[in-house]
Structure 1
Amino acid sequence: MSGKFSGFPKAGFDFLEDLKENNTRDWFAENKSRYRETLQDHLLDFIEAMVEPLANITPHFVADARRNGGSMFRIHRDVRFSKDKRPYKEHAACHFRHSLGRDAHAPGFYVHLAPDEVLYGAGIWMPPSDALYMIRRAIADRPDAWSKVLNDKRMKKIFGEIGGDGLKRPPKGFSADDPHIDDLKRKTFFVMHKTTAKAAQGPEFLAEVVEGFKATMPLMHFLCKAVDVPC
């Protein structure tokens, strides 16, 4: 870590390209210092640089630049219950979660780095059933407030529509005639902006992400209120 974010170097994306072709424990062990120097350290610098801007957006979300247990996702995959036994993720990522959230299923902000795409955005990913019900209930009970989120011009300009996989049929207890039935079917609620690895290689990427996070706040306020946490 240098303590200052100056962009994600091309060498880090080159590392991920090579990892995709050599996704084995032996290869990673031989290239662990390369991983740290070209990618991990720069991601930690990015997280550290997000501390103050994120606090200015909302004091309830955490940017934690620890090497383990903080905002940065581990590169190791959990293969215990997967047919895909590749030991490492072929991307790098960080998640700025709610201070009350114990895992990635709480509302949060997200940044994803891969050679073929760089993503940033916010929302809630596959929340547990009780939180999902609370969000659906909030949409059904406050349709005008949800419409205001959907139609926020600044958020739509940067992120487009709210995304997330959903059910084929209306969830139990909700009407198929509800004006927001497509959103009530969702199991995940997020907005995500896609850019390029080249765009992330300059120091201005930090400011771009900060402005993007600011634009997500109508959605984040709604989700946090729905699951009864401050925002």
Structure 2
Amino acid sequence: MSDDGGIFGPELYEFLEELEANNNREWFNENRERYEEEVREPAFDLIRAVRPLLAEISQHMTARDTKLGGSLMRVFRDTRFSADKTPYKTNVGIQFRHLRANDVHAPGFYVHLSTESCFFGAGSWMPDRDALAAYRVAIDERPETWIAARDACQSDGWRMEGERLKRSPRDWSVDHPMISDLKRKSFIAVRDFDHGVALRPDFPSVITAWCNEMRPLMAFLCQAVDLDF
């Protein structure tokens, strides 16, 4: 806990900045204790603080403070298919997933902390073919519900991100009134926040307030793929 009562202290960003400059196993092993004390344990504290607040929004979203399969994403990068072979992520990623969907692409909430940027996200990033098809059907069948959810993602500091297909998806007419949304490959709402927000004592409450604002989007996406919200 930081001196001002926040779960994270400024040491979080100091560690990430040093890791960016020394992204190698030797340096990380020498500073592993710092990682535990300044990054992982505070992240677990944040997850534990969010858990009861998130449960008030949805009983189906999880906040797990476990090293394996938990909400805190691994610090180790998967370099198998990347030209960048640096072994460690230089950000903290925390995902609150649906209890029936452990896939990172399933509907969920996401907190991103790095020296470069901090942001919060909600929705489904690059869903698989079946889920993407289900979202498109739901938009077609319930356009008014989708529009209300979408509009909530484009106001008060929110924006929708993600690539779109250049052409209309197969089996959908280019003249469809919702074709712009049917072209989406992700359904993600994002908002940026200042680095200092993560150091505040009320950061767990801030996160869950954002989760609550995104309830229409999350409810729509979960219902589309037969998940309770």
Common fold, TM-score beyond 0.5? yes
RMSD: 1.6
Aligned residues: 227
Other-structure match for 1:206: 204
**Which secondary structure does the structure 1 equivalent of 2:203 belong to?**
helix
* Distance across 2 between alignment mates of 1:124 and 1:38: 29
Deviation at 1:228, TM superposition (A): 0.9
Q: Pick from 199, 218, 221 the counterpart of residue 220 of structure 1.
A: 218
Structure 2 segments unaligned to the other structure (5+ residues): none
How high is the sequence identity, in percent, across the aligned residues?
A: 41
Other-structure match for 1:28: 28
* Distance across 2 between alignment mates of 1:12 and 1:158: 28
TM-score (norm 1): 0.93
Greater CA drift, 50-59 or 203-212: 203-212
* Distance across 2 between alignment mates of 1:143 and 1:69: 35
**Which secondary structure does the structure 1 equivalent of 2:120 belong to?**
strand
**Correspondence 1:188 to 2:186:** yes
Greater CA drift, 143-152 or 191-200: 143-152
Deviation at 1:180, TM superposition (A): 2.0
1:119-177 deviation digits (Å, cap 9, x = unpaired): 1121001111001100011112221111121233xx54444332211211111011212
Other-structure match for 2:51: 51
Letter in 2 for 1:35: Y
1:158, 1:212 within 8 Å by CA — same for their partners in 2? no
* Distance across 2 between alignment mates of 1:111 and 1:104: 13
**Which secondary structure does the structure 2 equivalent of 1:228 belong to?**
coil
**Which secondary structure does the structure 1 equivalent of 2:161 belong to?**
coil
* Distance across 2 between alignment mates of 1:162 and 1:176: 22
Deviation at 1:27, TM superposition (A): 0.7
Q: How does 1:158-177 map to 2 (within 5 A)?
A: 158-177=156-175
Other-structure match for 2:72: 72
Q: How does 1:6-155 map to 2 (within 5 A)?
A: 6-152=6-152, 155=153
Runs ≥4 in structure 1, deviation > 3 angstroms?
Answer: 155-159
* Distance across 2 between alignment mates of 1:128 and 1:190: 14
TM-score (norm 2): 0.94
Structure 1 segments unaligned to the other structure (5+ residues): none
1:168-196 deviation digits (Å, cap 9, x = unpaired): 11110112122221211111111111012
Deviation at 1:225, TM superposition (A): 0.8
1:7, 1:203 within 8 Å by CA — same for their partners in 2? yes
* Distance across 2 between alignment mates of 1:156 and 1:166: 17
